[in-house]
Structure 1
Amino acid sequence: MVTDRMPQIDSPEDPYNMDGTAVTFRWTRISEDKDPDISDLPSFDYSLYLFNAVKFYLGQLFNIIDEESFMQSLNEFYEDAATKSRLSRTWYCQYLLVLAFGKAFVVTPETPSSPAGSKYAARAMGMLPDLTDIRDEPLLAIEVLCLAALYFESIDMRVAAYQHIGQALRICFIEGIHREVSEGAVGSKVSQRCSTVWWTVYILDREFSALLGAPSSVREEDITTALPSERDNSLRAAATTLQIQLARLTSRILTSVYQATCFLEIIS
């Protein structure tokens, strides 16, 4: 519409579609029968440093990583990296994405078009789980897809971010964690993790949908999982609940004020 009203000389056909052009980021898909690349990885102590940097900078969104299980796997990895990376490819993806985020937070990149730690992210993207690889560790797969989506968003690849958070959302539906998971059925620890994972996916899905102008993928009436503030009285739970409410409000605005019918009426 702007181009029609204000024509530009030698302007590209779609001058406003800048998705994926901010940085250079490519990866190669690694087949299941090929061992993951474990070369050029940091020491255990430096990995811990990067992990804590991610924990600090991501703030509330760090909830997407289950710290206890991650640390247990990290210790196992540094005892036998080849075996752990081969048997736990999904966790290895998570570990590589933590390294990528950590490097981006604490290291100055050599070139603006190549973020620090991007080589680890590229390695992780090549091994991301698809819908056939989630049967054994669905919660971990959701966490990894959330981290991948967040990384794509951070390097201005909005379409890829939206697609990956959509895949995470579908796995949530398959596993039923958008519904309240009873502590009596799975225990308090798993129930809490399911709640944390679900609300993180919910927040990211709403935010990424808003950034693309796409409709939300889940109806509010289908969600029965309790809000974090309904589970405990901590400041972190209250902050997460506020994030959820803000994401919900954003979605409501997009689906009511800026509907396609309204837009068509304006331009007609």
Structure 2
Amino acid sequence: MRNCRILHTVIEKPCRNCALSNRQCTYAIRDRKVTVTESYLKQLEGGLLAAKSSGRSSRRISSDAVDSPGKQPIQEPDHNFGRRSYELLGENSTAEHFVSKLKEIRDLKTSPGGQGTRLDSLSITDESELRVSYPARYEYAALKFDTTCRSHLDYSHVYLLIYRLDSTCTFRLPPYPYVVHLLEQFSIYLGHDWHLFRPQTFHQKLHHTYMTVDSSESKDRAWLCKLLVVLALAESVDVGRQPEIKLDLYDPISRPSQNMPSEYIPIPGQEFFEQALMILKISYENTTVDHIEILNLIALYSNQLNRQKAAYNYTGASARLCNTLQLHKVSASIDCSPAEREHRKRLWWSTYCLDRMTSTFTGLPPALEVDQTDLAYPKQAELSPDETEEFSDADFLTARIQLTIIQTRNLKSVSHIGLDDAQDIKTVLRPSLQRLESWRESLPAHMVSETGNDINERTRSLPFKRSLANMHLRFNHCILLLLRPLILRQVACIFANETSNASQEDLEYINNNCLKSARLNVLIMINVQSAGLITRLGFMENMHLFTSLMILCLAMSVNARRPGSFKETPDDIKTYQSGKGVLTYMMKCGSLAAKGHLNMLKEVEDLGIAIATESGGVDPDEGNQWDIEEWVTQLFESEDMLGSCGLQNCT
């Protein structure tokens, strides 16, 4: 009864109201005031946070994972520090987020009061907090298209053909020989990684555009837009110089680019790209596969400009068009020719891979899921010899698709990791590594590469070498994304002066796989550069190289602090310096992604010194096993290495 909730001064059992209603009589009891220590309250708070984290992890464990019923709530703040800092990292795979977590570990440990309340604040109990706690900040190329409403964009370079689709849309095309050269570059660097369009059909339309007066192609917005973006991509990867045509000085479009302020000098391919965006027009009620091709190409070039969010949004729009045209369904292409069916199938798979790639780079949700399609993998058995010329090697695209699917599954598995190192290695990391190893073992013989030395073999074509390098860069990057969080946990344990509960054998297995993959990726990039196949703006190359250099740096730092954690080689420092030289080369060639990655790498190097020199709980004898001054000198003595690589005078 309502009156029974009031504290009675005279206790009567039962009270009159409860007696009349035949109910049990209850009384409110006043809380007692007791005195407890602050440390006891912090201990309770730490246990509550650990219990909440453990409960959420257990609710999200996938069906193929094994629960760990023996886990106990962690009470001590220092011990929680090493594990909670890793929590939920697998859900955000961006490099910026990983570096921010490294800095957070160091800052919370070294700040005043870091042993107490600040350490507890590291726990993230709400996923939304994780997304806004460190928004990715990076420098990207600004476009005139972002701010101008003018339909005519004026540039300093000179082109031979000037097209006017209507009274408000004017653009220029370069000389035909230069276009042919750019298409060769496109084929070498990008032609075999995905299926972006049918090359023979593309060349036929190009020929008609230049050689046929008043051709239908010269009035086709979609085709001209696609052509311009392909030229932009080709120019962004071409290591040569753009040809110039000098006209009379009174011609307004022949003004020398030297008079332009440096901030207005366009990035390679940017002029073509801006013109393509200017004429881009998609009728979403009447879309075609051409529009999907265009959006995929635009997304790829946006990455070259380090416009990561733009690339993510363009691939998302492309994915929507795939759904609109039902490209993921076999039945939607049943009336098409064999070549058209293969084209639509490969286009969907390529869009799926690009969607997953941009999702991984930005840490945002993807648009396509593999379980929505009933398509088979690419093949060429049903095609005639002439139709086969429209498609690249099916094995390369199939291998990339399979690797993307495995990476998607692995990243989901990593997001379910709890707080138990031994259990996580057993139920998540080892099975995920085995999936990747199975993929590598199933590769056809001509696609196997152990060290990247295959890139320098003269018997193989340039497109094959470049595709082979890209494939294995991506494979090793998948391993790094999978195992990188455990490296973060070990760094956190060093600052928290704790040790993992995993066996030494398990830790060595994980650490050595991670370090080996990082080392191989750096060596591949060094070989790519020495073979003259490095791209000037390559965003994906940047990402693979930076992640690998970061792991190399952290591995050497952890080894300096806890010898034997990683199996180093005598050449690791030299490899690190050479790889950093390649990244510096790309930055000097205008890559904004390389510039951002070098800035983050400097932060990682500073963190590496802090890791190696952390003194809390060090065995007195352990500190004599390595010379920190010599190690730092070797690690960051990059100028001599840059000179030996011939990278100082990059233009």
Contact residue 342 and residue 378 of structure 2 kept, 8 A: no
Deviations 1:81-131 (A, max 9, x none): 79644x31111111111111222222458979732121111111223333x
**Structure 1 unaligned residues grouped into runs of 5+:** 8-12
2:269 to 112, 117, 133: 117
2:141 to 23, 32, 40: 23
**2:204 match:** 72
Counterparts of residues 54-203 of structure 1 (less than 5 Å): 54-61=186-193, 63-78=195-210, 79-80=212-213, 84-85=217-218, 87-106=219-238, 107-108=240-241, 114-130=266-282, 132-133=283-284, 135=286, 138-181=288-331, 184-203=334-353
Query: Aligned pair in 2 of structure 1 residues 177, 22: CA closer, same or farther (>3 Å)?
Result: same
> 2:403 aligned with 1:251, yes or no?
no
User: Radius of gyration: which is bigger?
Assistant: 2
Contact residue 206 and residue 248 of structure 1 kept, 8 A: no
Q: C-alpha separation between the residues in 2 aligned to 1:122 and 1:89?
A: 14
**2:365 match:** 215
Q: Secondary structure at the match of 2:393?
A: helix
Q: C-alpha separation between the residues in 2 aligned to 1:259 and 1:231?
A: 41
Shift of 1:57: 1.0
Shift of 1:23: 2.9
**2:374 match:** 224
Contact residue 194 and residue 397 of structure 2 kept, 8 A: no
Q: C-alpha separation between the residues in 1 aligned to 2:325 and 2:169?
A: 28
Deviations 1:146-203 (A, max 9, x none): 0000011122111000000010111001101111257651111210110121111011
Q: C-alpha separation between the residues in 2 aligned to 1:144 and 1:134?
A: 17
| TM-score, normalising length: structure 2 | 0.35
Contact residue 100 and residue 117 of structure 1 kept, 8 A: yes
Q: C-alpha separation between the residues in 2 aligned to 1:260 and 1:151?
A: 35
Q: C-alpha separation between the residues in 2 aligned to 1:75 and 1:134?
A: 30
Q: C-alpha separation between the residues in 1 aligned to 2:285 and 2:367?
A: 21
Query: Aligned pair in 2 of structure 1 residues 166, 252: CA closer, same or farther (>3 Å)?
Result: same
Shift of 1:253: 2.5
Shift of 1:4: 6.1
Q: Secondary structure at the match of 2:364?
A: coil
Contact residue 146 and residue 201 of structure 1 kept, 8 A: yes
Q: Secondary structure at the match of 1:37?
A: strand
Q: C-alpha separation between the residues in 2 aligned to 1:213 and 1:169?
A: 17
Kindly provide the amino acid, as one letter, of the partner of residue 312 in structure 2.
Y
Q: C-alpha separation between the residues in 2 aligned to 1:260 and 1:174?
A: 36
Contact residue 355 and residue 368 of structure 2 kept, 8 A: no
Contact residue 179 and residue 223 of structure 1 kept, 8 A: yes
| TM-score, normalising length: structure 1 | 0.79
Shift of 1:254: 2.8
Contact residue 225 and residue 279 of structure 2 kept, 8 A: yes
Contact residue 139 and residue 194 of structure 1 kept, 8 A: yes
Contact residue 129 and residue 141 of structure 1 kept, 8 A: no
Q: Secondary structure at the match of 1:185?
A: coil
Q: C-alpha separation between the residues in 1 aligned to 2:174 and 2:372?
A: 44
Q: C-alpha separation between the residues in 2 aligned to 1:24 and 1:108?
A: 23
Number of equivalent positions: 255
Q: C-alpha separation between the residues in 1 aligned to 2:296 and 2:205?
A: 19
Range with bigger deviation, 75-84 or 100-109: 75-84
Kindly provide the amino acid, as one letter, of the partner of residue 37 in structure 1.
T
Shift of 1:75: 2.2
Q: C-alpha separation between the residues in 2 aligned to 1:201 and 1:84?
A: 25
2:169 to 23, 36, 47: 36
Contact residue 210 and residue 251 of structure 1 kept, 8 A: no
**Structure 2 unaligned residues grouped into runs of 5+:** 1-99, 109-131, 153-164, 243-256, 420-484, 490-651
Using the aligned pairs only, state the percent identity: 23
